[in-house]
Structures are given as structure tokens and as C-alpha cells.
Copies of this chain bind each other. A is one copy, B any other.
Amino acid sequence: MISVDQALEQLFSLVSPIGAETVPLTQAVGRVLAADAIASRDQPPFAASAMDGYAVPGNEVAVGAEFDVIGEAAAGHGFSRACGPGQAIRIFTGAPVPQGATRVVIQEDVDRSGDRITLTDRLSGGDNIRPSGADFCAGDKLSAPRLLRPSDIALLASMNIAEVSVARRPDVALISTGDELVMPGENPGPDQIIASNTFGLKALLDGIGARARILPIAGDSRPLLEAAFDLAKDANLIVTIGGASVGDHDLVGDVAEDLGMQRAFYKIAMRPGKPLMAGRMGDAVMVGLPGNPVSAMVCGHVFLAPVIRAMLGLGLHPSSRLSARLAADLPENGPREHYMRAFVQDGEIRAETRQDSSLLTVLADANALLVRPVGDGPRSAGESVEYLPI
């Protein structure tokens, strides 16, 4: 058996980058920036007033000082002339500060009578001016690769970038295998169950930037499997679920090999989801997951998500872990890394009582996979442990 980290290294060695595409800024959130985005102008592009008030020569500001109001500067409509000694410009937030003015006195600190203002004795400090380029300057960049969040989108807009180069969404083909499966909404026979893994994995992988498609279920026959692989052949990642163990009825690996897959089969020291098949099939990475629903989803978090992020250009890293305090004691762990279904709240994590890998209700109630390292000793309530948020 190999470790989870070793298996992930093997998977990463199969990944190649998948290229970029240009999308409008409104579609860029959640995508990965593929080329540096560069500002073409300063922001603000001019010294701008941070308040509503009066722009004046700063050296003349004193309690009781008087100024003639000679014009107005509004956002979008600057005052075209300069502000001379003894003069003030009525100014609003966001407006360009006129030449000659070096301070904005807020309107609350001014008494106005006609076109004359007098500074009151409440005079507050600060020049209330945002210098040109305070946020960014022409040539400043947002560097790729970067997973774009809402605040990045606001920043890119402010840099006057209307469309951005982002990594293409990896095309993932999901194939569930087995005569026992029917699609949701169908009428299962007495020996049959409903295919659920492909639906859960699509939701998971789409959410981290892939474009996953659910292919028709491949029954346990060579022609059905071949037909499924044929439908998958343009994908960047082909995922089969089920048929990846050593039973007599496991055809998936054989058929994939006949179709040219360089096959590797790993028994991974992990629970749940021990067996994993992997290889390259043409231009695609092919991964075979175990068929138990919880195993398939856990492998999705532990193996497929890092593969997708690698394809997106985000580097070769395992899924990020957080830490929390154990709510209750845990016995020692065995020789396999254990991803226990668990619930985290207020920094405290509690493993679910039932850990059988067939229980989707338990997985749905969980919000974390508590990671027990290989050979980890018994742990006491209050100790810090690592988990994957799910």
C-alpha cells in the first residue's frame, strides 16, 4: 500500500496544464486568472476629495479664517481653474481637488454666508484628500495565477479591465459503472439502487471550477464500458466510479487498458476508499474511484479536487486543512489514514458515531473530514486535530 501523499504525487505527475480563455469580467469570479492583469492608469487618477466640504489652500486653515467660494467641483465635474490665496472651492466626495488647494475642510466645520465661508472652532484634522495613485498606479498588476474572489473582481473593474484571461474549466467526464445502478427518477428493479456518486462529484467539482458531465451509466459489459469511454474521450479528466477493486466483475481497468491507458493501480493506505486506479488515456487523466458513495466523495475531496486545482494552474497541493479542538476522545488509529466524517462548530470538532462508507446520510450531516494520520495514537478531548472542510 502507498500513502495518500504518494498517490497524490502520482496523480500530479499525470496532469498537464489545459490552457486559457478570455471571459467578460462578470463571469470571472471563481475562475483562475491565467495572465497578469495590468492597470493602465492610476487610481484615483487625480487627487480626489474624500469628503464633502471646501477645498482651500492648506496653509491658510485656522479657526476663524475666511474664504471666497469661487466655484464648485463635483465627482465627474472638476473645477477647471486654480484655487488662489483666500479662495475656496465647494467640493464633493470623489471630485478632483483643484490646483492650488491642498486641504478639504469638511462642510460641518464651516459657516457659509452667501459666497463666503468662515472656519468654525470645531475644525477637525486631516487633509481629506486621496492622493493620485493611492490605490494603485499604472503598471501595477494583479498577478496570475489567482483564484478570483468578489473583491478581485471589483479591483479588476477599477483597473478598467473589462475581460480577463482565465484558465479553461477542466472538462470532467463522470462514468458510474455497474448493472445495479439506475439514474435518479428511473424505476429501479428489486436488486438495483440509484446512481448517486456522479451527482455528488459533479456538484463538488463544478464548485471548484471544473465543468463536469455525467455520462450514461456503464453496465458491467465490455461494449457498454467502451461506449462510455468513447463519450469521454475529449475530457481532461475521466473519472470512473465502481469496478475498481479486484472482484471477478471488475472490467473497468481491463477495458481502459485495451483503450490505451497506461494503468497504475494503487492500494492506498486510507479509509474509506482504499483502491484507486489511475493513468493517462490519450490526452486525459483517468482516475478510477471506489464505488461506495462515501468513499467516492471522500476521494473526490482528497484526490480529484487537487487534480482540478493543478489543471487550473493553482499548483500541486493537497486540499487545505484547518484545525479544531476535539470535542471527545478518539481511540488510536490503525495503519491507514482515516478521513472520519465529522462536524465542526465554534472551533470544536466531533466525529460522527457511524463511519460506514455506505452512509450518505452521515456524510450529509457532516461538514468536515477529520484526518487521522497513519498510526496516530489515542487523542483526548481538547487536543487540536486537522480536518478538511466539506
CA distance A200 to B152 in the complex (A): 7
Q: Which residue of B lies closest to A140 (CB)?
A: B361
Q: Which residue of B lies closest to A44 (CB)?
A: B193
Whether A188 is near chain B, meaning CB under 8 Å from some CB there, is yes
Partner of A191, one of B78, B248, B293: B78
Partner of A45, one of B161, B190, B200, B297: B190
> Contact at B364–A179, with CB atoms within 8 Å?
no
Q: Which residue of B lies closest to A136 (CB)?
A: B361
Whether A124 is near chain B, meaning CB under 8 Å from some CB there, is no
Interface mask (A159-200 → B, CB under 8 Å = 1, otherwise 0): 111110000000000000011110111101111111111111
CB of A95 to closest CB in B, whole Å? 8
Whether A65 is near chain B, meaning CB under 8 Å from some CB there, is no
> Contact at A25–B199, with CB atoms within 8 Å?
yes
CA distance A292 to B347 in the complex (A): 34
Partner of A360, one of B130, B155, B361: B155
> Contact at A347–B360, with CB atoms within 8 Å?
no
User: Which residues, 135 to 157 on A, are CB-close (under 8 Å) to B?
Assistant: 135-136, 140, 142, 148-157
> Contact at A74–B179, with CB atoms within 8 Å?
yes
Whether A387 is near chain B, meaning CB under 8 Å from some CB there, is no
Interface mask (A34-76 → B, CB under 8 Å = 1, otherwise 0): 0000000101111010101000000000000000000000111
Could you tell me how many residues of chain A have their Cβ less than 8 Å away from some Cβ of chain B?
96
Q: Hey, which chain B residues are within 8 Å of A153, CB to CB? A: 199-200, 202-203
Q: Hey, which chain B residues are within 8 Å of A191, CB to CB? A: 46, 75-78, 95-96
Q: Residues on A close to B: CB < 8 A?
A: 25-26, 28-30, 41, 43-46, 48, 50, 52, 74-78, 92-96, 130, 134-136, 140, 142, 148-163, 178-181, 183-186, 188-204, 206-207, 214, 219-220, 245-249, 291-293, 297, 300, 323, 347, 356, 358-361, 363-364, 366, 390
Partner of A46, one of B148, B190, B297: B190
Q: Hey, which chain B residues are within 8 Å of A52, CB to CB? A: 245-248
Partner of A207, one of B29, B130, B183, B185: B29
CA distance A246 to B154 in the complex (A): 25
> Contact at A94–B291, with CB atoms within 8 Å?
yes
- Complex copy number for this chain: 2
Q: Hey, which chain B residues are within 8 Å of A151, CB to CB? A: 200, 297, 360, 363-364, 366, 390
Q: Which residue of B lies closest to A153 (CB)?
A: B203
> Contact at A196–B158, with CB atoms within 8 Å?
yes
Partner of A92, one of B74, B95, B248: B248
CB of A106 to closest CB in B, whole Å? 11
CA distance A184 to B11 in the complex (A): 40
Partner of A93, one of B74, B206, B214, B291: B291
Q: Hey, which chain B residues are within 8 Å of A46, CB to CB? A: 190-191
CA distance A363 to B153 in the complex (A): 11
Q: Which residue of B lies closest to A290 (CB)?
A: B93
Pick the most buried of A28, A196, A206, A366: most chain B CB atoms within 10 A of its CB: A196
Partner of A193, one of B45, B190, B201: B45
CA distance A209 to B202 in the complex (A): 18
